[in-house]
Amino acid sequence: MVSEVTKYLSETIGERRAGTEADKKATEYIARKMKEIGLEVEIQKFKFLGWEMTRRPMLELVEPQQKELPSGVFMFSESTPEGGITGKLEYIGIMPFIPKLFEWPKYAVVDDAGNHLGYIIGHIDGPAINFTLMEIGKTYGCAPYIMTDQETHEYFQEKLAAGEEIRVRIDTAGKLVPGLETQNVIGTLRGSALPDEEIIVCAHHDSTYESHGANDNASGVDAVLRVAKNLIEKGGTKKTVKFITFAAEEYLFFGSYYYVKTLKEKDPSSIARIKNVVNLDMVGVGEYLWVWVAPDSFRHQVDEALKESIKDEFDIQWNPELLPASDHWPFFEQGIPSVMLIFWPHEQYHLSTDMITEIDDDKIEKTAKAATAIAERLAGVN
Ligand SMILES: [Zn+2]
The reply to whether the predicted model has a pTM over 0.85 is yes
Residue 174 Cα to ligand 1 midpoint, Å, equals 22
Question: Does the pLDDT at position 140 exceed 90?
Answer: no
Residue 173 Cα to ligand 1 midpoint, Å, equals 24
Share of residues in the chain with pLDDT > 90 (%) = 87
Residue 218 Cα to ligand 1 midpoint, Å, equals 9
Question: Does the pLDDT at position 99 exceed 90?
Answer: no
Cis amide leading into 127 (omega within 30): no
- CA dist list (Å): 318 to 182, 240, 300, 339, 341: 33, 27, 11, 11, 10
Residue 281 Cα to ligand 1 midpoint, Å, equals 5
CA distance 219 to 173: 31
Q: Is the dihedral of CA 261, 265, 267, 272 positive or negative?
A: positive
Q: What is the pLDDT of residue 319?
A: 94
Domains of the chain with bracketed CATH:
4-50+178-379 (3.40.630.10), 53-172 (3.50.30.30)
- CA dist list (Å): 151 to 157, 197, 263, 347, 358: 10, 50, 45, 15, 24
Residue 67 Cα to ligand 1 midpoint, Å, equals 33
Residues in the chain: 382
Residue 222 Cα to ligand 1 midpoint, Å, equals 13
For residue 282, give the DSSP letter: -
Q: What is the pLDDT of residue 172?
A: 97
How confident is the model over 197-225, as pLDDT tens digits? 999 999 999 999 889 999 999 999 999 99
CA distance 293 to 319: 6
Q: Is the pLDDT higher at 100 or at 7?
A: 7
Residue 205 Cα to ligand 1 midpoint, Å, equals 8
